[in-house]
Structure formats: structure tokens, C-alpha cells
Amino acid sequence: GAGRLPDGRARYRSVYGKTYREVKEKLLIKKRDACLAGGKENMLPPGLTIRESVRLWMEENQMKWKESTLATYRSIAEKHILPVIGRQAVSGFDEEAWRAYFEGLRGQACAAQEKKLSETYLHQIFILLSQIFHFLGKKFRCNRPELPSVTSPAKAQIPQPPEGRELKKLEEHLIKSAQEGELTSLGVLLSGCSGIRIGELCALQWKDIDLEKESIIVRKTMQRIRTFSSADEAGMTGTRVIITAPKSRNSIREIPLPGFLVELLKTARKSGQISEEGYVLKGIRKEYTEPRTLQYRFQAILKKLGIPGFNFHMLRHIFATNCISQGFDMKTLSELLGHSNVGTTMRIYVHSDMERKKMLMSGYKMAA
């Protein structure tokens, strides 16, 4: 019903939808709007479930999210939220239920990897749920309780780079292979000498390289995301590769290149029929090489050289560390890395090792 007519009869309005779920959610919104128009507060629909809340939150926000962000949220929700507490009513999900849910997750092993969820991942679930409850509070003018943080993000571990002689060995191999026309080695060198992320490297096309200016322009990134059966129905179906704008506006940047790398790129450019639209790292079956394939190839190179395996992203850390040791100012380094501010660069990459501390402290005097 929608109030009364002047003669006292009930006034009715119709709501249409393709599915029962869609009609139910439209009814919830109509009832809320009617109550808000009447000046009522705390209009959380009776029986509203966490599953319905997740769907409402995603429907109203997905247009402002990147496709990869939406895929991440859906993946977390469908793996760890909806199967466990999806049917619970929001009104009954109090502090005790909140704590019990996270304690259950903390003891739960990840089926795919047969290991417990990390504290960092648990914190992501906590943040996502917190955002949903905040959304409900604003949408339905209801005062949701301040649910306590039951997780804390794990302290970021400082990645340990390979030893200097191993890096030298790797660099010599990459240069020799690149001179022989091996594009994977050229790509690894490009990342190690510019700090670009693996997704940015895989999305790099020859038109993004200006050999006259001796620089590259990072405009895109490539990543593999989860796919779902449909926008309305739950269920992950697999993954697919997407190419989008990079991580943030600051990630769109121009990076000057060292001379030796420019010469290697010029040689590669002249060596074959290469289109401006072609990807620098051309694939075997596809026009591009995707990040996980490049990771496999990189690990194969390390294994061949007898170098202990390390993640491709470590090349970015090595680049940043070398820049700092060579006296780059923080503003320049931050822009080269595509960070939004210098603070991010300082927090992630500026860590003084014990040898440097000893050197600085060796001549210290209180009355300097």
C-alpha cells in the first residue's frame, strides 16, 4: 500500500522487475523513500539480509568503480561473505555476530591454497563489510552500531633483494639475450631500469616508446580479473585479461631511459616488421604477453642462472633502492614510480639498512 485515497480506500502502486529478487529490492527502496518523505528515521527494511545489502551496495556504486575493483569486491563477497553470513538479517548482525564471523574466518583454510587466510586479506574483508554497513546507515537513515575492528593489517615486510653478484649475473644475461633479439629479456631490463609495474610493461606498445626523446609513456596496465555468470546472478566462472588505465592518475607518466636501453630498443625496433600498435612483449598465441606468463618466464630465467627465485615486482624495489643510493631526490623518484605523493614512496621504499646506520653513527658526537 501507498497511503490512503481521500475516500479512505488504500492507494496501491506497482513495481516491475525481471526477477523476484529485483522486484523485492525495488519494493524495499520504494518503502524507504515513502518513509523518508514522511520524515521518519531508522528505516532499515525489516528482514533485509546481508546478501541483499551487498547487492544494493554494488548496484549503486559499480559505475564509479574500475572493472577490476568491482571484480575484486565480488570475488571477496562470493568467497567469504555470502556463503557464510549472506542469509543473516542485517538487524541481527550485532557485535557478537561480527566477532564470531571473523574468528571463524581466521581459523578457516583457503580451499585453493590449503592455508589460512592472511591478516591482510582478513582486513580487506573487514573494510569491505564496514563500507557496506556505512552505506546502509546513509541509505536508510539507520544508526548502525560502531562495529569494532577485529583485524589489523599485517605490517608490510621489506622485500629482500637478491645479492649484488646475483643481480650483476642477471643483468649481464639479460643484456646479452636482448642483444640477440630475445624480447622477454628486453622487457625485464625495461622494468628493472624504469621501475614500471609488470602490468604496465605487458600493456606497453611500441607507440608508447619515443626513441627520439629516449623515453616511454605509461598509459595503460594489463591484469587478469575474475569473471561472473552475470551481473545479477552469483557464481564465478573464470578469469579474463583486461587492459585499462593504470593504477591512478599519477601512474600515467613519462619515464626517461638510460642510453644502453635506448640502443637495445632501437635494435629490436629495426629487427622485424613491428607495428606501432604492436605490443613490445608480443605473445606466442596472442598479440601480447600477459603478466602471469611473464612471471613464469622470469622465474625460468632465474632458475637457468641458478639465482634463488624472487617476484618480478622486486625489480621495482631494486630500481627504487638504486635510485635512492645514487642520490635521486624523493620528488623525482615518486614521479618516476607513479606514486600519488612522496609519502607513499618514503613509506614503501626508503628503509635504511644497518650498514648505513653504522656508517652514519660511527662519527657521531653529542657536541657536534
The residue ranking higher by pLDDT, 7 or 225, is 225
Q: Hey, what's the cell of 295?
A: 612471471
DSSP type of residue 360: H
The residue ranking higher by pLDDT, 226 or 154, is 226
Average pLDDT in the 14-43 region?
Answer: 60
DSSP type of residue 159: -
Average pLDDT in the 101-114 region?
Answer: 71
pLDDT for res 348? 75
pLDDT for res 269? 86
Q: pLDDT tens digit string along 191-200?
A: 999 999 999 9
pTM: 0.73
CA angle 341, 343, 347 (to 5 degrees): 130
**For residue 39, how many C-alpha atoms fall within 13 Å in the half-sphere facing its CB?**
0
Q: pLDDT tens digit string along 43-87?
A: 778 888 999 999 999 999 988 888 888 899 999 999 999 999 999
Q: pLDDT tens digit string along 127-167?
A: 999 999 989 888 887 766 667 777 776 666 666 778 889 99
Cα–Cα distance, 222 to 194 (Å, whole number)? 17
Average pLDDT in the 306-320 region?
Answer: 92
Beta strand extents in 206-333 (DSSP E only): 209-210, 215-218, 221-228, 236-244, 253-256
Cα–Cα distance, 254 to 266 (Å, whole number)? 18
pLDDT at 1 over 50: no
Q: What percent of the chain has pLDDT over 90?
A: 42
pLDDT at 6 over 70: no
Segment among 301-305, 325-329, 344-348, 362-366 with least mean pLDDT: 362-366
**For residue 313, how many C-alpha atoms fall within 13 Å in the half-sphere facing its CB?**
6
Q: For the chain, what's the residue count?
A: 368
* Cross-sheet strand order for the sheet of 215-218: 209-210, 215-218, 253-256
**Residues ≥6 apart with Cβ < 8 Å to 108:** 116, 117
Nearest to 133 by CA among 19, 48, 230: 48
pLDDT at 239 over 80: yes
Q: What is the mean pLDDT of the chain?
A: 82
Q: Hey, what's the cell of 113?
A: 591454497
**Residues ≥6 apart with Cβ < 8 Å to 118:** 154
pLDDT at 201 over 90: yes
Q: pLDDT tens digit string along 248-283?
A: 788 899 999 999 999 999 999 887 667 788 899 988
The residue ranking higher by pLDDT, 172 or 30, is 172
Average pLDDT in the 242-246 region?
Answer: 88
Q: What percent of the chain has pLDDT over 70?
A: 78
pLDDT for res 149? 76
